[in-house]
């Protein structure tokens, strides 16, 4: 039986250098499964000290969504966003909780997240986020390895 993924959420919760790699790989997956709707979500975690997309801004403002859209469109051709009916969302809060909440609110079929080998406290925080997402969403999750640039 083939799984149909009509709504895909791509969760960005990482620094810019990895955001580009995740977006490229996630859009490649979207080209294979051809979803009707795609949501690209950036969650800023104030507890983790994640840098703001727009210096000094308060997240969840229109300017932050526009900034996210500009950063992603530098990586992926714009026509793909129209093809997948892409919506950009910027939230502040606990990344795993925000992803789970959006997955339920938007009736998402597939969540795409990135993972990268990390060390020290950073590894504990990010493994915890990935684990919470895997444990709490009620749809499929595809975790992309971002440690290998090939």
Q: Shortest CA distance to 100 belongs to which of 9, 36, 28? A: 9
Residues 45 and 125 sit within 8 Å (Cβ to Cβ): no
Cα R_g (the chain), whole angstroms: 14
Residue 131: CB partners within 8 Å, gap ≥ 6? none
> Would you place residue 56 in the very low, low, confident or very high pLDDT band (cuts 50, 70, 90)?
very low
Question: Which residues are CB-neighbours of 36 under 8 A, at least 6 positions away?
Answer: 6, 7, 84, 85
Indicate whether this model's pTM tops 0.75. Answer: yes
**Which of 10-24, 38-52, 101-115: highest mean pLDDT?**
101-115
What is the CATH T-level fold of the domain 7-145, as seen in this structure? Answer: Rossmann fold (3.40.50)
**How many angstroms separate the CA atoms of 13 and 10, rounded?**
10
Percent share of the chain, pLDDT over 90: 27
């Amino acid at each position: 039986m083939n799984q149909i993924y009509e709504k895909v959420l791509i969760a960005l919760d990482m620094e810019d250098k990895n955001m580009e790699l995740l977006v490229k790989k996630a859009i490649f997956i979207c080209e294979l499964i051809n979803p009707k709707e795609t949501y690209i979500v950036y969650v800023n975690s104030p507890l983790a000290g994640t840098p703001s997309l727009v210096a000094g801004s308060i997240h969840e403002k229109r300017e932050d969504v526009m900034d996210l859209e500009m950063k992603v469109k530098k990586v992926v051709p714009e026509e793909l966003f129209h093809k997948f009916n892409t919506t950009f969302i910027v939230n502040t809060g606990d990344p795993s909780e925000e992803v789970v909440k959006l997955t339920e609110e938007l009736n998402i079929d597939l969540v795409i997240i990135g993972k990268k080998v990390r060390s020290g406290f950073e590894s504990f925080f990010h493994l915890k986020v990935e684990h919470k997402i895997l444990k709490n969403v009620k749809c499929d999750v595809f975790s992309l390895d971002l440690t290998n640039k090939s």
